[in-house]
Amino acid sequence: MDFRFSQAEEGFRQELLDFLRRELPSQWEGPVGSTEGNDWDLTLQMRGKLAQKGWLTMHWPKDYGGQQASPLLSLIFNEEMSYHRAPGRDIFGARMLGPTLMIYGSEEQKRKFLPPVAKGEVQWCQGYSEPEAGSDLASLSTRAEDMGDYFLVNGSKMWTSLAHRADWMMLLARTDPEAPKHRGISFLLVDMRSPGVEVRPIVNMAGSHEFNQVFFDNVQVPRENLVAEKDRGWYVAVTLLDFERSGIDNAASSRRLLDDLSEFLWEAQERGFHRASEGWVEDLLAERYVETEVARLIAYRVAWMQSQGLVPNKEASVSKVFGSETFQRVADTGLKILGLYGQLTWEDQWAPLHGRFQDAWRHGFSNTIAAGTSEIQRNIIASRGLGLPRG
Amino acid sequence: MDLALNETQQMLKTSARDLLSRECPYSLVRDMEEDARGYSDELWRRMVDLGWLGLAIPEKYGGAEGDFLDLAALLEEMGRALVPGPFFSTVVLGGLTILDAAGDDMKRDLLPRIARGQLLMTLAITEKGGTYESQEIEVQARREGEEYVIEGTKLFVPDAHVADFIIVAARTASGSNPKEGITLLLVPGTADGVSVTPHRTLASDKQCEVVFHGVRVPYSAVVGEIDGGWPPMERALQRAAAAKCVEMVGGAEAVLEMTVEYLKQRVQFGRPVGTFQGVQHHCANMAIDVEGSRYAAYQAAWKVSEGLPAAREVSMAKAWVSDAYLRVCSLAHQCHGAIGFTQEHDLQLYTRRARVQEQAYGDARFHRRLLAQTLRA
């Protein structure tokens, strides 16, 4: 056993940290406030720079603009980007579309769609959930009618993150309504500027516009944008979900919150915030700290398995559940410790840490829902992981 | 990075599991709860023959030159099989402390005998304060001529009733810093004035009250440095906590597997209970705790094995595993229903031990306090 990263890996971490110090605004502690609007420019700017470094898609094969980086380098990249709250990563294009097309896409599709992602020039979104199809994703009803050289799409997608910024969507739609529900679904790539696509914002309880509902009214999708065979899209989708689950972002974000909080408390103690020195505060902090470290180890384990060519099974779900729930506990603990001050938002001059804890707490509710609820993950752990019989 | 055990360690685990499944059945575990000595000569002999006692002892002292991680792999299997007896005390508490702190003469005297299974040892730390901190060490050892005379009482000393030697942490000088003035002394279990009474514990394991009354040992009984016993004691506690965590991981995994098997068999409402989502989620939570415990425990063991500073990782591991193992046991009981809390069921063997292991070498709260100190530093 060896829990250390190699020298080359540590070297990369250092290079990344230097890059972040250089390229992020000075004294950067992360975006302040809940509206991402003002930060979008910075996101695009950073994305361009990450692309220049080749880091945006570092885990891709070289042929498509990647660096064939090991999963451990990707892990370090995501860990530090999350810890530093650095904008610019591209979850949908780089982490989901890319690996999926690598497996299922035609050569033409790869050549057309992958390079712009690697260059950071295009924003993708994921058209999976619907108003009536959440955890039971396979019951989706958005229809794609086969018209020969195009598909005619009608219906609606829900909770579509960044649809309002997106150029393209990975869409799951029903092409055979008569088939059993898993067998009549196809995976399509949709130009968001197509006539008949309409995006409506959904503002979350953190006051932030991240989700959208997307409507399709007779939208034409060329046949060449069908990924894999018609009616086989479910299997493409399931693969993609496996790429989506990762615990390191939650572990690193949680750790950052705790580090911020500890630092704040030591200073606040001197200014008269006396509860900072109470024993229960120390115990709670240490308890959360242990959890973030365990979350980190579990995420390392997933990446390490991938680096060995092993396919994580229950481990990815374990990492997702534990990481997301740890993040929620950290946010909750911060608010308990901050007491009355915890409620203050960034606009208030008394707000500790720019109101980050109340913001993290409000955002945290989505962490155990998005990308497969904790309940679905636990089902996967029990059935796929432990071999318990299905109900 | 390499998060797997190496081939030797995996082979060691496989052979240990094989042997223990045959020679350490639950029936033996139960019998040893009632047994005055608490271990079987036959199983002990087998473990000696396989070289387990000398696994982590260097070749020049008659051992197999393995490292702490090798020992950890073995301890995981022993935890899984609930192996009763003085292995942990003799090897982790006794042997490794001698190896770490003693002079060469003492090592040459004791370590080969440990490796051959001829010598049982333990370590006496805790007193009436019931924790593992320097300020509570009040057992006195005062100089008289060429001897130390020991007075006082140690509690919760594992396997002292069978130990040939007890390493005793005693106060030899007093001052303002409680970490100074502690000396480790090697005391024969049969020395005049030593009286050992096993505690009655919920796991029916063999932890003992050890009373020292005018016990005389020569200067040569000092392990390491006079008045400098606390630093090696701290290292001994780190090794013990890391080793205990790994042992607990073995137990926790056994509990999870036992539960999953049961849930596949047990039928209610016309289908296996394991098909119900509520029950499945209990199992998923157990799996999450086992997974986290495994890597927290092994990270600590690896740090110890490499001789790297391990205080932070050890505290993190013990803080986590102490609570996680109990959660695993609680959910296992919930999944087993009434049968799980009967004496005839094997689950409760683990549950009772998990409660004892929780406290050994510091519970979660104790280690969180240590951690908070390292965070502040």
**Residue B1 forms part of a structural domain:** no
Chain B interface includes A389 (CB < 8 A): yes
| Over residues B353-359, mean pLDDT | 96
What CATH number is attached to the domain comprising B204? 2.40.110.10
Average of per-residue pLDDT values in chain A:
93
Residue where a domain stops, chosen among B192, B226, B260: B226
Distances (CA, A) of A376 to A226, A382, B98, B333: 28, 10, 51, 23
Please name the residue of chain A whose CA is at the shortest distance from the CA of residue B367: A286
pLDDT at B317 exceeding the cut of 60 = yes
Residue B145 shares a structural domain with residue B216: yes
pLDDT at A68 exceeding the cut of 90 = yes
Q: How many Å apart are CA A122 and CA A240, to the nearest integer?
A: 19
The DSSP letter of residue A294 is H
Within 13 Å, how many C-alpha atoms sit on residue A25's CB side? 12
**Residue B299 forms part of a structural domain:** yes
Q: How many Å apart are CA A186 and CA A226, to the nearest integer?
A: 7
Residue B270 shares a structural domain with residue B364: yes
Bridge partner list, A170: A126, A189
Smallest CA-to-CA distance from B311 within B98, B168, B132 is with: B132
What is the pTM (predicted TM-score) of this model?
Answer: 0.90
CB B244 within 8 A of CB B357: yes
Q: Pairing mode, if any, of strands A124-127 and A168-174? A: parallel
CA distance A103 to chain B (A): 27
| Over residues A174-198, mean pLDDT | 97
pLDDT for res B375: 79
Q: Which domain holds residue B203?
A: 123-226
pLDDT at B15 exceeding the cut of 60 = yes
**Residue B81 forms part of a structural domain:** yes
Write out residues 102-161 of A within 8 Å (CB-CB) of B: none
| Over residues A153-181, mean pLDDT | 96
| Over residues B9-38, mean pLDDT | 97
Three-class secondary structure of residue A348 per DSSP: coil
pLDDT at A35 exceeding the cut of 80 = no
pLDDT for res A276: 80
Cβ contacts (< 8 Å) between A324 and chain B: which residues? none
Residue B270 shares a structural domain with residue B370: yes
CB A250 within 8 A of CB A326: yes
What CATH number is attached to the domain comprising B59? 1.10.540.10
Contacts of A148 (CB under 8 A, 6+ apart): A223
pLDDT at B347 exceeding the cut of 90 = yes
pLDDT for res A390: 87
Residue B220 shares a structural domain with residue B240: no
pLDDT at A274 exceeding the cut of 90 = no
Average of per-residue pLDDT values in chain B:
96
Write out residues 110-139 of B within 8 Å (CB-CB) of A: none
CA distance B364 to chain A (A): 9
Instruction: Count each helix (H run) and each strand (E run) in chain B, helices first.
Output: 12, 10
CB B318 within 8 A of CB B362: yes
Please name the residue of chain A whose CA is at the shortest distance from the CA of residue B261: A388
Write out residues 344-383 of A within 8 Å (CB-CB) of B: 375, 377-379, 381-383
Give the rounded percent of residues in chain A with a pLDDT score beyond 90: 81
Residue B158 shares a structural domain with residue B268: no
pLDDT single digits (tens) B321-334: 999 999 999 999 99
Q: Where are the beta strands (DSSP E) in A136-255?
A: 143-146, 150-157, 168-174, 185-191, 197-203, 209-222, 226-227
Cβ contacts (< 8 Å) between B365 and chain A: which residues? 283
Distances (CA, A) of B333 to B121, B339, B349: 35, 9, 12
What CATH number is attached to the domain comprising B238? 1.20.140.10
Write out residues 54-93 of A within 8 Å (CB-CB) of B: 72
Distance of CA A228 to the CA centre of its chain: 24
The span from the first CA to the last CA of chain B, in angstroms, equals: 27
Helix (H) or strand (E) holding A124: strand A124-127
Q: Do B372 and A318 touch (CB under 8 A)?
A: no
Helix (H) or strand (E) holding A290: helix A279-307
Domains and CATH numbers, chain A: 7-89 (1.10.540.10), 124-231 (2.40.110.10), 245-385 (1.20.140.10)
- Among the partner-chain residues A301, A385, A388, the one whose CB lies closest to the CB of B274 is A388
pLDDT at A36 exceeding the cut of 60 = no
Q: How many Å apart are CA B107 and CA B113, to the nearest integer?
A: 10
CA distance A82 to chain B (A): 21
Residue where a domain stops, chosen among B119, B153, B188: B119
pLDDT at A38 exceeding the cut of 80 = no
Residue type, B377: A
Cβ contacts (< 8 Å) between A385 and chain B: which residues? 284, 287
Q: Do A290 and B3 touch (CB under 8 A)?
A: no
Neighbours of A272 (CB within 10 A): 7
Residue B88 shares a structural domain with residue B142: no
**Residue B159 forms part of a structural domain:** yes
Give the rounded percent of residues in chain A with a pLDDT score beyond 70: 97
Residue type, B323: D
- Among the partner-chain residues B287, B296, B369, the one whose CB lies closest to the CB of A318 is B287
Residue B69 shares a structural domain with residue B150: no
Write out residues 69-88 of B within 8 Å (CB-CB) of A: 69
Write out residues 259-298 of A within 8 Å (CB-CB) of B: 262, 266, 282-283, 285-287, 289-291, 293-295, 297-298
Residue B170 shares a structural domain with residue B256: no
* Catalytic positions of A, written as ranges: 244
Q: Do A378 and B263 touch (CB under 8 A)?
A: no
CA distance A300 to chain B (A): 9
Residue B194 shares a structural domain with residue B279: no
Q: Where are the beta strands (DSSP E) in chain B?
A: 121-124, 140-144, 147-158, 165-171, 182-188, 194-198, 207-218, 222-223, 267-268, 271-272
pLDDT at B192 exceeding the cut of 60 = yes
Give the rounded percent of residues in chain B with a pLDDT score beyond 90: 96
- Among the partner-chain residues B275, B284, B298, the one whose CB lies closest to the CB of A390 is B275
Q: How many Å apart are CA A288 and CA A229, to the nearest integer?
A: 47
| Over residues A362-367, mean pLDDT | 90
CA distance B317 to chain A (A): 8
pLDDT for res B165: 98
pLDDT single digits (tens) A300-333: 999 999 999 998 889 999 999 999 999 999 999 9
Residue B242 shares a structural domain with residue B353: yes
Write out residues 263-322 of B within 8 Å (CB-CB) of A: 263-264, 271-272, 274-277, 280-281, 283-285, 287-288, 291-292, 295-296, 298-299, 302-303, 316, 319-320
Chain B interface includes A1 (CB < 8 A): yes
Q: Do B277 and A391 touch (CB under 8 A)?
A: yes
Q: Do B368 and A287 touch (CB under 8 A)?
A: yes
Least confident of A338-342, B42-46, B320-324: A338-342
Q: Do A297 and B292 touch (CB under 8 A)?
A: yes
- Among the partner-chain residues A6, A304, A386, the one whose CB lies closest to the CB of B287 is A386
Q: Pairing mode, if any, of strands B147-158 and A124-127? A: unpaired
Chain A interface includes B3 (CB < 8 A): yes
Q: Do B291 and A290 touch (CB under 8 A)?
A: no
Smallest CA-to-CA distance from B317 within B243, B267, B258, B242 is with: B242
Give the rounded percent of residues in chain B with a pLDDT score beyond 70: 100
Q: Do B368 and A375 touch (CB under 8 A)?
A: no
| Over residues B152-165, mean pLDDT | 97
**Residue B143 forms part of a structural domain:** yes
Total of domains in chain B: 3
Residue B93 shares a structural domain with residue B199: no
Contacts of A150 (CB under 8 A, 6+ apart): A220, A221, A222, A223
Cβ contacts (< 8 Å) between B281 and chain A: which residues? 375, 378-379, 382
Cβ contacts (< 8 Å) between B262 and chain A: which residues? none
The residue with greater pLDDT, B342 or B244, is: B244
Q: Pairing mode, if any, of strands B207-218 and B165-171? A: unpaired
Q: How many Å apart are CA B70 and CA B268, to the nearest integer?
A: 44
Owner of token pair 């205990």:
B244
Contacts of A25 (CB under 8 A, 6+ apart): A42
Place B89 in a pLDDT band, splitting at 50, 70 and 90: very high
**Residue B2 forms part of a structural domain:** no
pLDDT single digits (tens) B57-73: 999 999 999 999 999 99
Distance of CA B92 to the CA centre of its chain: 7
pLDDT at A258 exceeding the cut of 80 = yes
Q: How many Å apart are CA A250 and CA A288, to the nearest integer?
A: 13
Residue B50 shares a structural domain with residue B79: yes
Structure tokens at A323: 């990481």
Residue where a domain stops, chosen among B101, B119, B137: B119
